Structure 1
Amino acid sequence: MVNITMHDNIKDLDLDQNLNGICPSTGMVVSCKINDKLIALLTYTKNNFHPHSIILHFTFFRDFNDSEIMNTMFNKLKAKLPTSNYILKLETQSRIYNKFISNNNFAEIRKTYEPDISITTIINYFKSYDSQHNYHPSKLTLNNNLLTKVFDVYKSTHRVNPLGNIDLNTWRNTVSKDLDLNHSIVIYNERNKITAFLLIFDYLEDKKEVGWIYFENDSMKTQLLNQFVSMLYRLQESGITSLCFEIDTTDLYSYELFSPFLINEAPSLITYKKTHK
């Protein structure tokens, strides 16, 4: 016997503490039991940066291949949250999710790739650019102009799932966390306008992470890559062997520079959206 029930919060289910940790939830929960055995949960979370949508999470506790039960669970949640937009993030594609996505008119909005690429590989690919071996940039300053420009880039990659109102101090804390001021690149023109940047973040002892990227035009892209190659040599000399990335297909700047490295790379995440309209 199938029993699908709406709960006010996850605590109503009296789950084992370990299960609470793998079932993210910030609100109502839909449970599915078959013959009194818990089979699946549908929970949701909210992202304060993207307040116009909620993120769905299905958790399966046993072998599960019934997309109709998923539909019923989702319909129960929709009945309680009829004006919400829904985000579904999948690490892998599967037949059951494909049916659920199709049945409920979710649309793919973004693929995310997370490659880890050796610095040697990156240098070899960009070897046509002029490495400025004698270039030693001054330490980056995280001023309001740069923060605003980084925010504009971030906002441009999330037009389909728009940002909410984020104050400058909150955004400063987000950008400054683990930011490597010595290796990040910012280029200004003669009027002190930012025309390109590439931010680098600390990650592991032998690895850095590439963050937000921007270039105003092709000329500035070339200048940015010249300085980037120079920076790669300096990172190598300091013992860094690879860079990790989070590249969204909606991020025009990052995707343009590094999509050639994704040819044989499977996405780590595929994001879908359903609007209430």
Structure 2
Amino acid sequence: MNWQIKKIDKLEADQLEQDLLEKMSDISHILHTQKYEHLFVARNEYHVVGIGVGWVNEFHPTAMYFRIFISDRAQDADRMADAIFHQIKLATVHQDKWIWAGSESDESMSTFLIRNGFRLIRKTYMPTLQMNDIQKHFKNVEKADNYISLKELLNNTEMKQSFFTLLKETYTATHQVNPVNNYSLEEWEDILLNDAPDQEHSLISHDYHCIDGFIMMHPVDSRHYEVGWLGISESTEPTLLRRLLKKQLESLSEKGVATLALEVDTTDWHAMKLFSFIDVETGEAWETYILQ
């Protein structure tokens, strides 16, 4: 073994090889803001050849999230990855599980995860579709009739409480393996609004002031939107979401939106059902693994 592992406080980009910088690009925001709990580097005589980062997601505080990056020039890469993870595990105090989330195309990490006893808990697909192509699948769908916009709902105390209760319930139901933090309804409202949904085009269905379904929409730019959180109550037919989306597709198209990005988790049966008209699983997935 010609490398040693050391815990450090901060990474200096000018000390890193280009291949490591490229591999770490999807967590660069965590590194730049230093919102990590643990940072380990493996060094040989001349270079940093491995990096391990561990951080806590406030939304799911019982897990230690982590990523490990090994340079292409590193020798004994498998052993190095295992040794870095061992240090992250030893440093973990308040969490009882470890979460890795990344691209399924990262074959070396897939091997590492299997070798260390992780199990796959979720795949997330994020296709971007042309608005015209989506609308073809909704030609024979009736538009929802009993709905209000998020902007209107926020001014109705009774309906607002019903909505955020359903939002909390649907999210919690799809994240049982890695539980969500115990937020109040007021905190759920802050979380949603901080994510900047389009309050005019995010729609909520109701039945005599009782919320039974919702789909949030988020603008990326004037021509491109993302579908956000969605869900229905237990007693509601899944077809309600198709009817609600039909209305949103029409209004967004009139607004000039040309493309729509989806985020479909395999643990979110509402989203899987709503977007079953496309084969989302043909695209590359973002995978989440857990070790407990």
The two structures share one fold, judged by TM-score above 0.5: yes
Select 2:252's aligned residue among 235, 246, 268. Answer: 235
How many angstroms does 1:222 deviate by? 2.4
How many angstroms does 1:221 deviate by? 2.6
User: Given that residues 42 and 56 in structure 1 are in contact (C-alpha distance below 8 angstroms), is that contact kept between their aligned partners in structure 2?
Assistant: yes
**What is residue 10 of structure 1 aligned with on the other side?**
9
Select 1:43's aligned residue among 20, 36, 53. Answer: 53
**What is residue 79 of structure 2 aligned with on the other side?**
68
Q: 1:137 to 1:250 in 2, by over 3 A?
A: closer
| 1:172 aligned onto 2:180 | no
**What is residue 188 of structure 1 aligned with on the other side?**
206
Structure 1 unaligned blocks of 5 or more:
none
How many angstroms does 1:170 deviate by? 2.9
**What is residue 157 of structure 2 aligned with on the other side?**
none
User: Given that residues 4 and 30 in structure 1 are in contact (C-alpha distance below 8 angstroms), is that contact kept between their aligned partners in structure 2?
Assistant: no
User: Given that residues 10 and 29 in structure 1 are in contact (C-alpha distance below 8 angstroms), is that contact kept between their aligned partners in structure 2?
Assistant: yes
**What is residue 222 of structure 1 aligned with on the other side?**
239
User: Given that residues 105 and 284 in structure 2 are in contact (C-alpha distance below 8 angstroms), is that contact kept between their aligned partners in structure 1?
Assistant: no
CA distance in 2, matches of 1:187, 1:137: 4
**What is residue 44 of structure 2 aligned with on the other side?**
34
CA distance in 1, matches of 2:203, 2:237: 12
CA distance in 2, matches of 1:130, 1:146: 23
User: Given that residues 70 and 77 in structure 2 are in contact (C-alpha distance below 8 angstroms), is that contact kept between their aligned partners in structure 1?
Assistant: no
Q: 1:35 to 1:260 in 2, by over 3 A?
A: farther
CA distance in 2, matches of 1:139, 1:78: 45
How many angstroms does 1:45 deviate by? 1.1
Corresponding pairs, count = 270
Q: 1:152 to 1:131 in 2, by over 3 A?
A: closer
CA distance in 1, matches of 2:171, 2:191: 12
User: Given that residues 114 and 245 in structure 1 are in contact (C-alpha distance below 8 angstroms), is that contact kept between their aligned partners in structure 2?
Assistant: yes
**What is residue 217 of structure 2 aligned with on the other side?**
200
SS of equivalent residue, structure 1 residue 220:
coil
User: Given that residues 56 and 88 in structure 1 are in contact (C-alpha distance below 8 angstroms), is that contact kept between their aligned partners in structure 2?
Assistant: yes
Q: 1:188 to 1:17 in 2, by over 3 A?
A: farther
Q: 1:227 to 1:77 in 2, by over 3 A?
A: closer
**What is residue 53 of structure 1 aligned with on the other side?**
63
User: Given that residues 67 and 97 in structure 1 are in contact (C-alpha distance below 8 angstroms), is that contact kept between their aligned partners in structure 2?
Assistant: no
TM-score by length of 1: 0.85
Q: Which amino acid aligns with 1:72?
A: A
CA distance in 2, matches of 1:170, 1:216: 21
CA distance in 2, matches of 1:198, 1:28: 37
Instruction: Report % sequence identity.
Output: 23
